[in-house]
Amino acid sequence: MHYADYKTILSPNNGMNIYRGCTHGCIYCDSRSKCYRMEHDFEDIEVKRNAPQILEDQLKRKRSKCMVGTGAMCDPYIPLEEELQMTGQCLSVIERNGFGVSIITKSSRVLRDLDLLKAINKKARCVIQVTLTTYDEELCKKIEPNVSTTYERFRVLMRMKEEGIPTVVWLCPILPFINDTEENLRGLLDYCIEADVKGILCFGFGVTLREGDREYFYQNLDKLFPGMKERYIDTYGESYSCNSPDNPRLMSIFTKVCKEHNILYKTDDVFGYLKQFEPKSKQSSLFDQF
């Protein structure tokens, strides 16, 4: 872990990454790709010094309230968060200033900040986004070794449902020849239905690979699934998009189930929901009517 100095923490689209790098160890992680120009070892987490103070300054200068997103590049609830509590401090800043928040995570550590999330959701909107890739718990431990298991993440979704906090699931990536099965898909969709998720983001059934990410993925395929790397190379070569041969059928099942249960599934609709800021107006008192 090391600190780095930044002047800003919010992107033009109000995205926020407090940490750069990750120790979850997911074998397919796109954030390892060289195009992101991370000039340090991926597991050597870069921490943005004074992140809460920088965020406070940027929010105070905003002309209007909005949703603040975090977790798109690096999970805000990596193990280091237990020690530094940067994410928790930033959530306090968001709540105090009346902004909304949208969090992407694979960790049940998000429950530590449940009181803050509830407070934000009372003033504006808080949306918890959880990534689910495989229904099989043992397979999950292989491809996502240092993070909450799929069932643990499902329990997070259920707790949010109990507290009235909306949720969205990222159903990706689905690894060809590994978990691109109807059984896996239906298991994950059953979790989504039970948790009453608002939407599911699915960009097709497959995985994307590029320089930096591809090499790490193939190293792990050699360790975990002997012969699978060669199958990928033979099937996809150097392609960025590696779609499952069963993608059309799986997408058909996915869209049918989402329609049946009124779950948002079109990417534009889901992203539109995530970006929409909704302040909770205070109920007017009886005296306000006179």
Alpha carbons 187 and 191: distance in angstroms, whole number: 7
CATH superfamily of 2-34+48-278: Aldolase class I (3.20.20.70)
Q: What is the pLDDT of residue 272?
A: 96
Per-residue model confidence (pLDDT) at position 283: 43
pLDDT value at position 184? 98
Amino acid at 243: N
pTM over 0.75? The answer is yes
Kindly list the domain boundaries of the chain, sorted by start residue: 2-34+48-278
β-strand partners of 283: none
Q: Give the pLDDT score at 133.
A: 98
List, as one string, the DSSP characters of 37-96.
---S-TTS-EEETTHHHHHHHHHHT-SS--EEEE-SSS-TTSTHHHHH-HHHHHHHHHHH
pLDDT on residue 280: 79
| Per-block mean pLDDT, blocks of 10 residues, the chain (290 long) | 95 95 96 93 95 97 96 95 97 98 98 98 97 98 97 98 98 98 98 98 97 97 98 97 98 98 98 92 42
Confidence (pLDDT) at 124: 95
